[in-house]
Amino acid sequence: MTPGSTTFTADTTAAQRAAAVWPQTLVGIGVLLTGLGLAFGAIGISSTAGYGGVGPNFLPWLVSAVLTLCGGWMIWEARSGGFRSLEAPSGAERAYWPGFVWVSAGLLMNAALITSIGFILSCALCYVLAVQGLRRASGQPSGAPRTWLIDLVTGLLIAGPVFWMFTKFLAINLPGLTTTGWL
């Protein structure tokens, strides 16, 4: 799969508008469900209002009502000619999913491993995986062992100094692999 090369132009064609109906409807449904979910959560919040007549549940109810309304309105817009005054998004028309998977893997593994393997190794791993995805997305050579090695070294060269700078000079707590404070 290669990234799409056609880009949206300012005046989208009827075909493009038709293709956008479902994604836009889904966005509307997402907002609607968020609104309803927030309303469900608001039921459990106390309404003790004191002097003001406005309790801790006022804003949650307001937010859920408005979001539900906005979601409904968006669904209507999507089904009746598409979102209004929509600027064509930048970049390719079709998403390049393999790249997204690589970058997501980098970010999620970083989140899962940072406390056990330390900031430097975890971030270097995130860097290596993300750069793989980004290289593939831009059509650069990516799979060769040499590229992996270069990326790994670059990742360590960024993560290491960042770790030392923030922990040593700025006294921010970041997890290390050892307790020496250097790795």
Shortest Å, Cβ 11 to other proteins: 15
**With binding defined as CB under 8 A, does residue 66 bind other proteins?**
yes
Shortest Å, Cβ 117 to other proteins: 12
**Residue 125, class by beta-carbon neighbours within 10 Å (0-12 exposed, 13-18 middle, 19+ buried)?**
buried
Among 43, 79, 115, 168, binds other proteins (CB under 8 A): 115
Give the three-state DSSP class for 57: coil
**Residue 52, class by beta-carbon neighbours within 10 Å (0-12 exposed, 13-18 middle, 19+ buried)?**
exposed
Contacts of other proteins in 78-97 (CB under 8 A): 83-87, 89-92, 95-97
Of the pair 18, 66, the CB lying nearest other proteins is at 66
Which one, of 1, 80, 71, 11, lies nearest residue 36 by Cα?
A: 71
Shortest Å, Cβ 19 to other proteins: 13
Contacts of other proteins in 17-56 (CB under 8 A): 23-24, 27, 31, 34, 38, 41, 45-46, 48-56
**With binding defined as CB under 8 A, does residue 121 bind other proteins?**
no
Contacts of other proteins in 131-170 (CB under 8 A): 131, 133-140, 154-155, 158-159, 162, 166, 170
Q: What are phi and psi of 159, to 5 degrees?
A: -65, -40
Question: Measuring CA to CA, how many Å separate 122 from each of 17, 129, 147, 148?
Answer: 42, 11, 19, 16
Shortest Å, Cβ 65 to other proteins: 9
Shortest Å, Cβ 158 to other proteins: 5
**Which residues contact residue 114 at a Cβ distance below 8 angstroms, ignoring those fewer than 6 apart?**
122, 123, 175
Of the pair 16, 154, the CB lying nearest other proteins is at 154
Centroid of chain to Cα 19? 23
